[in-house]
Amino acid sequence: MLSIGKLSGLTGVKVPTIRYYEQIGLLPKPERNEGGQRIYNNTSRERLNFIRHARELGFPLEDIRELLALSDSPDQSCDAIDAIAKRQLAEVEHRLVRLNALYKELERMVAQCTCGTVQTCRVIQVLGDHGLCVADHQKIMSHDIDQ
């Protein structure tokens, strides 16, 4: 008995996003009233909360799709779920390590800027010359540019 707007308010997921989730098949197509507007129940609400929370934890939608499918068969072993969660954990850890390195280098770069002219700007110099980075830069940064 929830309109899409109410559902949005309750879950914190924006209205167009809910429709988008329906479109890509993450949420089942809901009932409609005589006027053709979507009506939801508490089951949809729980499912949407699940999606939202998983998104907050950085799971990609494809993983969430899989998690939802798995959670629909409660008697199976939860190994598959565990694997997805662990994969995500490893992913986040990797990003964390990289981001930390970025942070350090940015910090160093900004700290060295004495704010004279562009010509002598340390930021521009460091950006232009990879050699001015910290020594173990290559190890961490080399082949993947991610955020």
Torsion angles phi and psi, residue 26, rounded to 5:
-80, -35
Inter-CA distances, 114 with 9, 110, 122, 127, 147, Å? 48, 9, 8, 16, 28
Q: Which stretch binds DNA (CB under 7 A): 27-35, 76-84, 90-98, 101-109?
A: 27-35
Q: Are 46 and 71 in contact (CB under 8 A)?
A: no
Contacts with DNA in 28-67 (CB under 7 A)?
33-38, 55, 60-62
The two structure tokens encoding residue 88: 């995500």
Cα distance between residue 66 and residue 48, in whole Å = 14
- Interacting residue ranges for its own copies, rule: CB under 8 A: 12, 46, 49-50, 52-58, 67, 70-71, 73-79, 81-82, 85-86, 88-89, 92-93, 95-96, 99-100, 102-103, 105-107, 109-110, 113, 115-121, 123-124, 126-130, 133, 141-143, 145, 147
Q: Which residue, 25 or 35, has its beta carbon nearer to DNA?
A: 35
Tell the smallest beta-carbon distance from residue 119 to DNA (Å): 27
Cα distance between residue 44 and residue 66, in whole Å = 17
Q: Residues interacting with DNA, by CB under 7 A?
A: 3-6, 8, 14-17, 19-20, 33-38, 55, 60-62, 145
